Structure 1
């Protein structure tokens, strides 16, 4: 892979992984801040995340190998402190005359690339964080200065000397890019799927996409909680049996108590999300609470904690229960197959059932309502 492509690939891969890890909290924040997710808002957030990672990767990668002659190879270039020195470089590297030859000049190309590199930063900061043009430009200069200092210090002294050149012209070009990006920021209003002026407290319709989003949030919350708790359980087991730093402990499966931990650990996230959350919260699941949905009775009153928990067991909680039980009982995938079939049936049932209630709400006789509408009704009553 070429050194030019490496930062882009790293940014895309890490961006995808971070987007998955941050998906549930991001959806929760959007519903509290805007009252809905907004595909356009999510697309801009993902683009901003990938761009930020790409900027970091561009600064750091590729990392050179450390060797005894490292400074002899990389530390021979002194920082460039003279403003507009690129004009002198253009004269040295000029090939031919005319506009076309000037645009092909490597020194000018480098400056233009540095301007273009910070255009997205100016656009994202100005548009998404509602900063002024002056503040956005100052942020761009600050980020550029941090980059240049990171380069001149060899990634803050991780390397014995700098392996990239500090150039004040880069700082100026980056600042210009941030300024131009701030001025061009209104272009991002054209991205579809955004609602720029909405009341987050206004109730929204219960749509199929909203129900699906709640299901996705529930499944991802289960997976994330299971990974976190399982990792914590294993680390605790290792800590009990020896010194984590030395690593002289032995394989995990051979440790006393490992079988008990692996048997119990998967059920803790299930108890937390399928039982505790519906009992103590107003929604039958974390995903539905995130997208501001609430279970109500036929008369419009909020469902009680027992009914919320029952609804949870007919929903994603039941699906997770069957899949984990299949593993615990070594059922050979039979219960897992039942869970998959029930999950598919529940997914399909979102389309024909009234109000997109799905099987879990049909079985429990409950209705699905925007929690903001329920809150308003309680206040009025």
Structure 2
């Protein structure tokens, strides 16, 4: 039994890291297409990934020592189609006239092995038909190709890591796996009738996607600052080749960081959205934009107020809090007192900011304080096309 439980336990350990690695791509894709990431869609997609991970580990684990594999002399390739039927007829203890042989016969490897290979691919057929709405012919082809990938993985000695194959690559596995995918396709309606259909999920996602969640805006925020980090690094690298830059700015690293910060905020969040009517790269990717009340085109002035509150004011506050330790430890009592008062005031402002975000999350209102001050708000740019087909 450990032969089967060990790969599943390994998949459970690996899955969180794999899920984290693919989450960013999945989230961006869902926000770009629908404007939201439904919980049920996440359950379906991540469970599908977990299933594929378990299936893969089941065909490669446990991994034997390379030195041990080098001593193997057993068969590693079986090319006789339906040989499992011949093995069953030769080795089974089943006697149709003796009911006492039924259960022992089911416990033999000649039964368990083909049944396992069939059941392994039943979920694959279910997922393909239920979520991806794949036709019968494509399910058959996809099941065959996935099984072929597994068998070639075994035949290639785990991509030539081992000196020879340590698992049997069997053409009968191709047959049983493909048949399992077909069974999965056939039983899908019986297994999924209680769950929402793909079309229902899409319709619900489009409805929710018309309102812009804070998480969707946070994804856009991360994308924008990722772009800013890349562009800023390139510009600083090029600027270091300018003698005047090294002479004026480079000796003052703190000033250099602040100047670059304010320059990128001005460029990316004020000038660029003025030219694109409220879109940054991150916002464009997740299909949202900033608009101004009662105006078709957003003004530069409104963007200055909006992002001035968010980045400049709170950027200065954060910078002060980060660099106030030396001033608080100063021997000048008056300087210590003034710094302490400013420190507490900045903490209070940050507390108000966190409180505002929390209030928006709890009350499900989408406008933060800097949006109200600038008379701007964020909207979704996704347009629901009638009779749109899901992928």
TM over 0.5: yes
Structure 1 position 358 matched with structure 2 position 368: yes
What is the CA–CA distance in structure 2 between the aligned matches of 1:141 and 1:284, rounded to whole Å?
45
Q: 1:277, 1:286 within 8 Å by CA — same for their partners in 2?
A: no
Which of 114, 117, 135 in structure 1 is aligned with 2:117?
114
Provide the rounded CA distance (Å) in 2 between the counterparts of 1:59 and 1:274.
54
1:253-293 Cα deviation digits (max 9, x unpaired) = xxxxxx99999899989976895156434546666545533
Q: Tell me how far 1:301 sits from its aligned partner.
A: 2.7
Unaligned runs of 5+ in 2: 238-250, 329-342, 384-391
CA-CA distance at 1:154 after TM superposition? 0.4
- 3-state SS of 2:53 partner: helix
Q: Secondary structure at the match of 1:4?
A: helix
Question: Cα RMSD between the aligned structures?
Answer: 4.6
Q: Please say which of residues 51-60 and 139-148 is displaced more in the overlay.
A: 51-60
Matching of residue 307 in structure 1 with residue 309 in structure 2: no
Secondary structure of the residue aligned to 1:41 is helix
| Cα shift readout 1:321-349 (whole Å, capped 9, x = no counterpart) | 86677557768998789657623431323
Corresponding residue for residue 85 of structure 1: 83
Pick the structure with greater CA Rg. 2
Structure 1 residue ranges without an equivalent (≥5): 237-258, 374-381
TM-score, with normalisation over the residues of structure 2? 0.67
Decide whether aligned partners of structure 1 residues 198 and 302 sit closer, same or farther in structure 2, where only a CA change above 3 A counts. Answer: farther
Select 1:132's aligned residue among 123, 135, 140: 135
Corresponding residue for residue 191 of structure 1: 195
Report if the CA contact (8 A) 2:154-2:165 is conserved: yes
Q: Quick check: 2:125–2:180 contact (8 Å CA) kept in 1?
A: yes
Does 1 or 2 have the higher relative contact order (CA < 8 Å, sep 6+)?
2
Instruction: Number of aligned residue pairs: give it.
Output: 341
1:292-343 deviations in whole A, cap 9, x for unaligned? 3332222153433553465345558987886677557768998789657623
* 2:167 partner SS: coil
Instruction: Mark the CA change 1:155 to 1:127 in structure 2 (over 3 Å): closer, same or farther.
Output: same
Distance in 2 (alpha carbons) for counterparts of 1:4 and 1:130: 30
> Does structure 1 conserve the Cα–Cα contact (< 8 Å) formed by 2:214 and 2:366?
no
Taking the aligned partners of 1:201 and 1:93, their CA distance within structure 2 comes to: 53
Deviations 1:28-74 (A, max 9, x none): 3224434543332222221222222333333333322222x5321x3
TM-score normalised to structure 1 length: 0.69
SS in 1 for 2:187: helix
Q: What is the CA–CA distance in structure 2 between the aligned matches of 1:267 and 1:92, rounded to whole Å?
A: 80
Distance 1:272 1:193 in 2: 45
- 1:349 and 2:352 aligned: no
